[in-house]
Amino acid sequence: MRWTGIRIMGGGAVAFALAFGIAPPAVAQQFINVLTGGTSGVYYPLGVALSTIYAAEFPDAKTQVQATKASVENLNLLQQGRGEIAFALGDSVQLAWEGNTEVGFPGKLDKLRAIAAIYPNYVQVVASADSGVATLADLKGKSLSVGAPKSGTELNARAIFEAAGLTYDDLSRAEYLPFGESVELMKNRQLDATLQSAGLGVASIRDLATSIPITIVAVPADIVAAIGAPYTAAVIPAGTYEGQTADVPTAAITNILVTHADLDDETVYRMTKALFENLDEMSAAHAAAQAISIDAATDGLPIPLHPGAERYYKEQGKL
């Protein structure tokens, strides 16, 4: 648990201080800062819901939601103790634990601890129908937004491109933009396509699909297999977006709720418990949360569980 200021005085000490006209020190403030992503993605509305849940669970704490550049920034902030819980993609978490400096980590982020594997992100490559892009190979010579620089989405884009035998140099232009900005450029015919790693039904692509005709580009299973874990083959079901009449194969990567080792066990235990006792509220915030299940919460985690979360899962018979 992160505290600021002087420790809370016991009742007797407070009475003594008041009796002699000495002002007692201020009660320390507990913070729960939820690190999310851009406001047009899935992390943000789920983070807002999670903050509301924690505000009820910890009524004396200051809870807030912070919009960020998502996975990489979130993990760096946690390592620095500048947040209590964060959303992050599984491959970003793995690279952070390994200390991969090429993707934006200063070294091994050894304070990271897992709370739960939650729902999968789907790599969603969406092109305007006018662009003529129907396959990954068709992106050659086209303009594509690959997500914010060194975000989890951009790391996914690099992995997909490498497995498909492509590089950013094959594009006419690579843009490093958040979801909402990418969509606005596509609406204005200033961008051919966008790659967005998010839960199904992400608001930005729903907005785009209702504005212009789109094509959802397949990421074939053999390309997913070439990347390997933690990527798995998945499907974007027909009807997920307006005008999408068929299933589209793609890659999926599990999202993880992450905290840090300096947060005390009791707080993390209560945070984990409150999450799973309020899944209806999470699902109401975004349909992606319907995939959150305690049965899969400890599957495939690339970092250690926080002891507080581990205690909850043991109580529930899940470890």
Q: Give me the pLDDT at residue 22, please.
A: 53
Query: Could you tell me the pTM of the whole model?
Result: 0.80
Rounded CA-CA distance 209/75 in Å is 32
Cβ 134 vs Cβ 118: under 8 Å: no
- Closest listed residue to residue 43, CA positions, set 204, 209, 277, 176: 204
Q: Is 44 exposed, middle or buried (0-12, 13-18, 19+ CB in 10 A)?
A: buried
Task: Kindly provide the residue ranges of all beta strands, DSSP E only, lying in 42-84, ordered along the sequence.
Answer: 62-66
> Residue 194 corresponds to which tokens in the numbers above?
């966008």
The residue with tokens 């699909």 is 209
Rounded CA-CA distance 239/176 in Å is 28
Q: Give me the pLDDT at residue 41, please.
A: 87
Q: Give me the pLDDT at residue 68, please.
A: 94
Q: Give me the pLDDT at residue 21, please.
A: 52
Cβ 90 vs Cβ 122: under 8 Å: no
| Per-position pLDDT tens, the chain of length 319 | 333 322 233 444 444 444 445 555 555 679 999 999 989 889 999 999 999 999 999 999 999 999 999 999 999 999 999 999 999 999 999 999 999 998 899 999 999 999 999 999 999 999 999 999 999 999 999 999 999 887 889 999 999 999 999 999 999 999 999 999 999 999 999 999 999 999 899 999 999 999 999 999 999 999 999 998 889 999 999 999 999 999 999 999 999 999 999 999 999 999 999 999 999 999 999 999 999 999 999 998 999 999 999 999 999 999 8
The residue with tokens 């967005």 is 196
Cβ 248 vs Cβ 216: under 8 Å: yes
> Residue 266 corresponds to which tokens in the numbers above?
């009791």
Cβ 21 vs Cβ 49: under 8 Å: no
Q: What residue ranges define each of the domains in the chain, with the CATH number in brackets?
A: 3-119+256-315 (3.40.190.10), 121-253 (3.40.190.10)
Q: With b meaning 16 or more CB within 10 Å and e meaning fewer, what string describes 115-125?
A: bbbbbbbbbbb
